[in-house]
Structure 1
Amino acid sequence: MPQEVEISLLPQELEQEALIEKKLRKKLRWPKDQQLAHWHIRRRSLDARGRQPLFRLRIVAYKTGELVPETPSIIAALPQVQNRPEVLIVGAGPAGYFAALELIELGLKPIILERGKDVRARRRDLRAIQQFGEVNPHSNYCFGEGGAGTYSDGKLYTRSKKRGSIEKSLRLFVEHGAPSDILIDAHPHIGSNKLPKVVAAMRETIESKGGEIHFEAWVTDFLIEEKQGQRSLKGLRTADGKEWWGQGVILATGHSARDIFRLLDQKKVAIEAKPFALGVRIEHPQALIDELQYGIKERPKELPASSYSLVCQVENRGVFSFCMCPGGLIVPASTAPGELVVNGMSMSRRDSPFANSGMVVAVDMEDLKEYAHLGPFAAMSFQQEVEQALFRAGDGSQAAPAQRLTDFVKGKTSSSLPKTSYIPGIYSARLDQLLPAGISRRLQLGLQQMGKKMRGYYTEEAQLIGVESRTSSPIRIPREPDSCMHPELAALFPCGEGAGYAGGIISAAMDGQKVAQALAKWIAAQ
């Protein structure tokens, strides 16, 4: 039987196979004449808690004669579904694409309708918002092939392990061109420079197996049939007037498709307000974060750009770091003209001189009493008002208000600002006044607490840039726990972040797989 053990390595030892085998033999206590036929790393993590950062490796070792199992290709086993029953999917993000791949595996034909452009054409619209402040409401950092995750760092870590198979999701990424390291890293990451090719490869697989993907196909209506008091979703209409029909609809539109939420409400399909979080992006020099986390002045090339995770409670609300991007960039994530939203991303090398993270405050329904009359749109309206207010504070471009961390806490205007990774530019402003009072106050108190937890984090070298507001969907589309179908509209299967059931690339991907399985089961029972 193969044996699994853990060994520790210094960063500079990570590529030394002979040394790894020597340590492995010592840990296994094998005699010298026992041959080591094969070994592979099952898990790799970085432990920076001690005086010296160490890599912890869990390794599976095989003796001579022991069978090393082969992992069959998922793609190769997918059937042709050209002439199989059709299912509509709205949205070509991770939830939509992974749902499509799962449907193909289950013998159903997916037809994906995506309001944005393909991942290559989408780049021109990202350039337009970065350099000229022009926001295309259908093609931006949130909308388009690959969804928000494609150009938002590509972190593949999730705590939602009950949702589905993390291993299968990661393997599908690897089979479509992602580095195999994501299968073993404790906090896997692809990078926004590599994800577009992976996403395009997934599209090619879906189409080669008989699925369809239609870009710039903006859904504007749900075609609902009512019989004997039972409502059922039969199809969709897109902005060009075309009608699409299928045996079920997976709605995977992401957390920013406000028009879809409004359409659901107009069609009397139940939706509900959902708590989310709102705050800022905080940006430090990456060298400072490296020094604080690793305890060394200069990070060697063998160590990755360091990250952090901070959380505290202030006035019964969580204040926490979100989507931390080591060696990353801050990008404009607005989805409509007249609003200002920022987000973070990293390239695969994570070699930017800046570290950024969302620093946000939980927003509960109790905080939105003045919006209660808006019903399910209470949280969304609050979110939108803040984004529009910060846009109005500027010059009409995507330049963002910024304030040194220490000045924000003290309630002072920053006389100067550090350099930034944010290409549209920043200007000095009183973010502590521009943000809602409850958000500012809790951020001020929370950041002081975090400065005590992570000595050196609270510094004038850091700055806050606003607003980070698209942390999760402010609306949930209800669904039954087992069937994953909307409780009041048959054949509608809400899915992913936009429906309020995921938070990140991998959890959205796994939710897509789960919903596809539930839909296939429902079709089979008809």
Structure 2
Amino acid sequence: MQSLQLTLSPEQAHTPELLKQAVAKALSLPPTQISHIRPVRKSIDARGRFVKINLAVEVFTGKEPITSDTIPLHYQDVTNKEEVIVVGAGPAGLFAALRLIELGLKPILLERGQAVTERKRDLAQMIRSNTLNPESNYCFGEGGAGAFSDGKLYTRSKKKGDVQRILSIFHRHGAQDEILYETHPHIGTDRLPQVIKAMRETILEHGGEVRFNTKVTGLKVEDSQITGVELADGSSLKSKAVILATGHSARDVYHLLHNNNIALEAKGFAMGVRVEHPQELIDSIQYHRRERGEFLPAAAYNLVEQVDDRGVYSFCMCPGGHIVPASTGAKELVVNGMSASHRNSPFANSGLVVEIRPEDLGEYQQYGVLAGLHFQQYVEELAFFNNGSKGLTAPAQRVGDFVKGKLSGSLPDCSYLPGVLSSPLHFWLPQHISSRLQQGFKKFDRKMHGYLTNEALIVGVESRSSSPVRIPRDMETYQHVQIAGLFPCGEGAGYAGGITSSAIDGENCAAAAKRYLE
């Protein structure tokens, strides 16, 4: 086996025959001697006039390698082992459960929403009826919010755990080979539900339990030690260890903790809008006014600026994607983005959000550590009432009109299926958000000329990019600072920011629970 770094045209990287010719030339070998080429790392370099593909490969001249997964996984039979309760079946909870099985503990995974197959049916019904199921939606249910937000796996949290291990576990449960080597891997909302289902089957096959439609409404604590959880049906479960991986949209959990004097902390977060452009326009900008063609993916972007001492940046960019409703309660309007594995929608959308710090919420200080939570809810209710209270229909405005402070007389086509309604977001969004967004669009247009256009649409509001609350834990033991055996975990606890970092945190909390119980 030989390792090789290549710089190729998109066609060469995409076409197996041309790739083999390029590899053979680089190694001074006849193509017939090359038995297999395995990609190791792939990235797009669009900085120059012509787009290039940087491709690292492993070249085999003997027999084909069996697998590219080299990370060992040893799932045990934990049927009769000590039980650990895991609350929430999002990425943090699923990976915590799998890691517990490896460590010889039995996970009892509790999820307030539906299994992913039933959840998909609930989402389809939600779009048809324009009404919300508060327990089964784009945020709640097996897989969490990540199950229907593109399945992006890129993370900067590489010091917190083994990213390649997380990708390998996804791959072994059915994710495509490309996630193992692409610089910005993603699974896609069309494939991710089957991967999640396979992960659940692994948990069940090895003696773990998974319970759906099971909502935790209380924690059982004795002498500052967790002893179990209380459920909505009036029953309870016992355990010496509870991993709390409920996600940042489970506001009832924050209120539960706060009402029981369990320590919380306010933290910075971000809020804004979804912006949607024609994908052709983003392709044209990113690929230097050239047509994308059949060998390049739908172009993405990553934008960040400072405006009035606060960050304004793109978040969860979905090339070839759709905008979806992400509300979890009545009389609120929240949007998010997703895309399928092929990213073949004619639209490109991204969250465009403004950094918010606790000191920015002066009039909400009466709510203490929950100030950000109440501010989020206020803005989401503004969005709902500014759509005429028409269910999940979302308020929207052309980007150019928003920057000029002008109501849009008409709206372009939009991927958001519940529909959009023209609304003056520049007027009713909180001024410290809207003014920074307006300036941000102008600055982004200098980096991507054509980005600020009336062909693009903003849809409101994007308010769940991160949690405004942290559930504090000891940095070494991962346990809550007041309660032994309680492990706050993932995005909802304020320790992750995406699928991969949440999965890493889930594994870390599982390992900490094992150490605690020994």
TM-score tier, shorter chain, comes to: over 0.9
CA contact (8 A) 2:226 2:239 kept: no
Amino acid at match of 2:19: I
Please state if 1:98 is matched with 2:117: no
The question of 1:21 aligning with 2:20 is answered yes
Q: Are 2:59 and 1:61 equivalent residues in the alignment?
A: yes
Q: Counterpart of 2:264? A: 271
Query: Is the aligned partner of 1:173 residue 2:170?
Result: yes
Residue 47 of structure 1 is matched in structure 2 by: 45
- Distance apart, 1:419 and its partner CA: 0.5
Measured against aligned partners, the alpha-carbon deviations of 1:52-74 in whole angstroms (never above 9, x if no partner) come to 21211111235659998874575
Match of 1:356 in 2: 349
Tell me: CA distance 1:436–1:27, structure 2 relative to 1, closer, same or farther (3 Å).
same
Q: TM-score, normalised on structure 2? A: 0.96
Give the whole-Å Cα distance in 1 for the aligned partners of 2:260 and 2:122. 31
Please state how far the C-alpha of 1:45 moved relative to its aligned partner: 1.0
Which residue does the alignment assign to 2:186? 189
Q: Is the 8 A contact 1:74 1:172 kept in 2?
A: no
Does residue 225 (structure 1) correspond to residue 222 (structure 2)? The answer is yes
1:380 corresponds to which letter in structure 2?
Answer: L
Which residue of structure 2 lines up, in the alignment, with residue 247 of structure 1?
240
Deviation sequence 1:430-452 (CA, Å, 0-9, x none): 00112101100000111101111
CA distance in 1, matches of 2:375, 2:185: 34
Which piece of structure 1 moves more, 81-90 or 124-133?
124-133
Q: 1:125: Cα distance to partner?
A: 2.2
Residues 272, 375 of structure 1: 8 Å contact kept: no
Q: Which residue of 2 aligns with 1:108?
A: 105
For 2:4 and 2:164, locate their aligned partners in 1 and report how far apart those are by CA, in whole Å.
20
Q: Secondary structure at the match of 1:448?
A: helix
Number of aligned residue pairs: 517
Give a deviation string over 1:496-519, Cα, whole Å, max 9, x none: 000000111111011101111111
Mapping for residues 102-501 of structure 1, pairs under 5 Å: 102-226=99-223, 231-396=224-389, 397-501=391-495
Measured after TM superposition, the shift of residue 24 of structure 1 is 2.5
* 1:362-418: CA deviation from partner (whole Å, max 9, x where unpaired): 001121122122111011110110001111122321111111111101101111111
Q: Which residue of 2 aligns with 1:12?
A: 11
Q: What amino acid maps onto 1:473 in structure 2?
A: S
TM-score, normalized by length of structure 1?
0.95
Equivalent pair of 2:189/2:340 in contact (CA under 8 Å): yes
Contiguous gaps of at least 5 residues in structure 1: none
Separation (CA, whole Å) in 2 of partners of 1:305 and 1:124: 28
- For 2:284 and 2:35, locate their aligned partners in 1 and report how far apart those are by CA, in whole Å: 41
SS of 2:361 mapped into structure 1: helix
Q: Per-residue deviation at 1:257?
A: 0.5
Secondary structure at the counterpart of residue 315 of structure 2 = strand
Within 1, Cα distance between the matches of 2:347 and 2:124? 20
Q: Is the 8 A contact 2:100 2:107 kept in 1?
A: yes
**Deviations, residues 315-343 of structure 1 (Å, cap 9, x unaligned):** 00000000000000000100001100000
- Distance in 2, Cα, partners of 1:79 & 1:478: 32
* Contact 2:71-2:165 at 8 Å conserved across structures: no
Flag the 1:35–1:299 CA change in 2: closer, same or farther, 3 A.
closer
**Cα distance in structure 1, aligned partners of 2:279 and 2:297:** 11
Deviates further, 177-186 or 61-70: 61-70
Secondary structure at 1:121 match in 2 = helix
Aligned AA for 2:48? G
Cα gap change, 1:107 to 1:23, in 2 (>3 Å)? same
Q: Per-residue CA shift, 1:140-193, capped at 9, x if unaligned?
A: 100000000001111111000011111111111111111011001111011111
The answer on whether the counterparts of 1:416 and 1:428 sit within 8 Å (CA) in structure 2 is yes
Judge conservation of contact 1:34–1:63 (CA < 8 Å) in 2: no
In structure 2, how many angstroms separate the alpha carbons of the residues matched to 1:494 and 1:445?
37
Q: Quick check: 2:36–2:60 contact (8 Å CA) kept in 1?
A: yes
**Considering only aligned residues, what root-mean-square deviation do their CA atoms show, in Å?**
1.9
Deviates more, 1:8-17 or 1:145-154: 8-17
- TM-fit CA distance, 1:468: 0.3
**Separation in 1 of the partners of 2:448 and 2:309?**
22
CA distance in 1, matches of 2:56, 2:12: 15
Q: Is the 8 A contact 1:95 1:252 kept in 2?
A: yes
Tell whether the 8 Å contact from 2:91 to 2:502 is kept in structure 1 after alignment: yes
Q: Is 1:97–1:202's contact at 8 Å kept on the other side of the alignment?
A: yes
Are 2:298 and 2:344, in contact at CA under 8 Å, matched by a contact in 1?
Answer: yes
Q: Deviations over 1:225-281 (max 9, x none)?
A: 12xxxx011000110111111120000000100000011112211011111100000
Unaligned 5+ runs, structure 2: none
Instruction: Tell me, in whole angstroms, the C-alpha distance in 1 between the residues paired with 2:512 and 2:156.
Output: 22
- Which residue does 2:513 correspond to in 1? 519
Question: How far off its partner does 1:35 sit?
Answer: 5.2
Percent identity (aligned): 52
- For residues 198 and 33 of structure 1, what CA distance do their matches in structure 2 show? 36
Q: What do residues 113-162 of structure 1 show as CA deviations (whole Å, max 9, x unaligned)?
A: 10000001112321233232211111110000000000111111100001
Relative to structure 1, the CA distance from residue 412 to residue 96 in structure 2 (aligned partners, 3 Å threshold; closer, same or farther) is same
Instruction: Please give the alpha-carbon distance, in whole angstroms, between the structure 1 residues aligned to 2:129 and 2:374.
Output: 27
Letter in 2 for 1:321: S
- Structure 1 CA distance, aligned partners of 2:125 and 2:33? 59
Aligned AA (2:418): P
User: How far apart, in 2, do the equivalents of 1:197 and 1:61 lie?
Assistant: 31
Take 1:283 and 1:334, find their aligned partners in 2: how far apart are those partners? 19
Q: What secondary structure sits across from 2:108 in the alignment?
A: strand
Q: 1: distance between equivalents of 2:475 and 2:447? A: 39
Deviation at 1:4, TM superposition (A): 2.4
SS at match of 1:92: coil
SS in 2 for 1:464: strand
Other structure's SS at 1:349 match? coil
Secondary structure of the residue aligned to 2:416 is coil
